[in-house]
Amino acid sequence: MEQVPTVHDDRYDIPLKYRKMENLHIVFWLFKDVAWCLGLRWLGTSMILPTLLISIIIAYRTRQYMSELCHNLAITVWISANSYWMVSEFFGFDHIEIWNGYTYKHIALIPFTVGILLLGYFYLVWKPMQKNKSAY
């Protein structure tokens, strides 16, 4: 049986295997971004899949808690946007204009905006409706 995060009063408990996965996620994410900074295409692009996959798994495992779900989905779309932007630079199409001064790099604004909207929904709509309940 799969362990799931639990809420006890005001404490949120994360099973150790989940915490280990989150920590590994950070390692992959840092390797991806360092590779981007150094222009290492092979390393940067190879780190997209594990970084994105783990963020999706983390979001799925925390789906029963709205706060965790919204924040983890925001992280997932942030990684997607960040990865697309990196790939557009690596393969030299980031500067090509699509329309009216917007370039292919600007397509990353779509998932960035989705992440902002997810968090906006949580903080401005869902959480205020939970006045007498836990935010999780």
In a domain, 57, yes or no: yes
- CA 109 to chain CA mean position, Å: 14
In a domain, 50, yes or no: yes
Q: Is 5 a residue whose pLDDT tops 70?
A: no
Which residues on adjacent β-strands are paired with residue 6?
13
Percent of the residues in the chain that have a pLDDT greater than 70, as a whole number = 88
Quick: pLDDT tens for 66-85. 999 999 999 999 999 999 99
What lies within 8 Å, CB to CB, of 122 at 6+ separation is 66, 67, 70, 71
In a domain, 13, yes or no: yes
Quick: pLDDT tens for 17-38. 888 888 999 999 999 999 999 9
Identify the domain containing residue 26 by its residue range: 6-130
For helices 109-121 and 66-90, give the axis angle rounded to 10 degrees. 170
3-state SS class at 12: strand
In a domain, 1, yes or no: no
In the chain, the amino acid numbered 22 is E
In a domain, 125, yes or no: yes
* pLDDT of amino acid 84: 97
Quick: pLDDT tens for 87-119. 999 999 999 999 999 999 999 999 999 999 999
Quick: pLDDT tens for 39-55. 999 999 999 999 999 99
Total structural domains within the chain: 1
The DSSP secondary structure of 68-79, one letter per residue, reads HHHHHHHHHHHH
Structure tokens that stand for 24 in this block: 């590994």
In a domain, 76, yes or no: yes
In a domain, 87, yes or no: yes
In a domain, 135, yes or no: no
Positive or negative: CA dihedral 126, 128, 131, 134: positive
The predicted model gives 2-12 an average pLDDT of: 61
What lies within 8 Å, CB to CB, of 70 at 6+ separation is 118, 119, 121, 122, 126
